[in-house]
Amino acid sequence: MPVSLRAPDDFHVHFRQPPLLGTIVSDTARWFGRALVMPNTVPPITTADRLAAYRRDIEAAVGEGCPFEPLLTFKVVQGLADEQVRALAAAGAIGGKLYPQGVTTHSEDGVFDVASLAAVFEAMEELDLVLEIHAEAPGAFSLDREIAYLPTVEWIVRRFSHLRIVIEHVSSRDMLAALADLPPRVAATVTVHHLLLTLDDVIGGDLRPHHFCKPIAKRSADRDALCAAVLSGDPRVFFGSDSAPHPRSAKESDCGCAGIYTAPVAVPLLAEFFERAGLPLTESALPPQSACLESFVSRWGAEFYRLPLNERTITLSESQWVVPDDYDGVVPFRSGAKLRYDIATGGEA
Ligand code: NCD
Ligand code: ZN
């Protein structure tokens, strides 16, 4: 039976730049009502002019008549001025992304002195912008890198007492436990790949470069904790795919890039994930605050960001398809796998 749900939002996606941007955007626009677009382009989104130009590139790729809406962010870099933050907010940014220096793709210009950015965080607080944090401490051992950044996250939370913060792509049991002790203005996104992979799926047998991402998938106990948080219907834990395409040659390389391309498969994989857990896909007939796919992908994130819920719906149809090996030179997550759900036509809620 086809299932209708409110159009999902993806609160963490990488759209890259033309020419790749064209394909990437349409894979997200097909499934999602909105997506929070990461600013780690080259050069990065740090000025209102770049943000406006990037929005134009994305809108051109979305095309007339497609209801998809990009939500834009800027990159918090050393030396960013609070006036720049005001200009970026006026140009429509809804968040600023903090990458610690050197921890992931295109983060060479990342932050190494958080305290020096106090004026930026104060401006964000005043403008009600959300701070998205890639929480990994440069130099720490890879499996401990996330929790090693907790003291910095806690310092920001304490020092800027009204700032809303998202810990992006949470990947460890310890960071999830820490989230529970932080105030409700701090939330976390979870990717589909961190719900499905452990480190063994990356390096436990053959080396699987298309499973390599930052933060790296960790132990089963970490994955199980993420699954439990999502399946408990915790409204502070919502979906952000971290869909991060790289050309095949950049992944299958002596020095391969981190990032997993999940945009084309995320929603069907999540539908199967909720079903395997015996949970419903939609909110219909459920008491409020219950766990289901629709709340995880279409409600909790929008509520945290104080955005109206999407009114449009998408319909999942049970029609098996095989994930292609390649999307314009990018190998998607689960290429070659059979997925049970596909998208049918849209409509009004
Ligand atoms: C992302 C990318 O490729 O831009 N890579 C990744 O492994 N997730 C950057 C990021 O979000 O860390
Ligand atoms: Zn990312």
Classify residue 270: in a domain, yes or no: yes
* Ligand 1 center from residue 344 Cα (angstroms): 30
Residue 60 lies in a domain: yes
Q: Which residues line ligand 1 (CB under 6 A)?
A: 14, 40, 104-105, 134, 213-214, 242, 244, 258-259
Distance separating alpha carbons of residues 70 and 62, to the nearest angstrom: 9
Q: In this structure, which long-range contacts are made by residues 283-291, counting pairs with CB atoms below 8 Å and at least 24 apart in sequence?
A: 283/5, 283/6, 289/233, 289/235, 290/233, 291/230, 291/231, 291/232, 291/233
User: Which listed ligand is nearest to 215 at the C-alpha?
Assistant: 1
Assign 112 to helix, strand or coil: coil
User: How high is the pLDDT of residue 348?
Assistant: 42
Q: 99: number of CA atoms within 13 Å, CB side? A: 23
How many domains in the chain? 1
Is 324 domain-assigned?
Answer: no
Token representation of residue 96: 């600023």
Residue 198: give its domain's CATH number.
3.20.20.140
For ligand 1, atom 4, which residue shows the shortest CA distance? 105
- For residue 203, what are the domain limits? 8-312
Q: Which of 41, 7, 36 is nearest to 21 (CA)?
A: 41
| pLDDT per residue of the chain (349 residues) written in tens, 0 to 9 | 899 999 999 999 999 999 999 989 999 999 999 999 999 999 999 999 999 999 999 999 999 999 999 999 999 999 999 999 999 999 999 999 999 999 998 999 999 999 999 999 999 999 999 999 999 999 999 999 999 999 999 999 999 999 999 999 999 999 999 999 999 999 999 999 999 999 999 999 999 999 999 999 999 999 999 999 999 999 999 999 999 999 999 999 999 999 999 999 999 999 999 999 999 999 987 777 789 999 999 999 999 999 999 999 999 999 999 999 999 999 999 999 999 999 996 444 4
Q: What is the pLDDT of residue 346?
A: 46
For ligand 1, mutation pick of 10, 12, 13, 14 (most atoms within 8 Å of CB): 14
Closest CA to 34 of 178, 241, 340: 241
Q: Is 3 a domain residue? A: no
Kindly state whether residue 174 falls inside one of the protein's structural domains: yes
Give counts: helices (H), strands (E), the chain: 12, 12
Instruction: Pick the atom of ligand 1 nearest to 40's CA.
Output: 4
- Does residue 24 lie in a domain region? yes
Q: Is 320 inside any structural domain? A: no
Q: Is residue 321 part of a domain?
A: no
Judged by DSSP in three states, 335 sits in coil
List, by residue number, the catalytic residues.
242
pLDDT at 284: 87
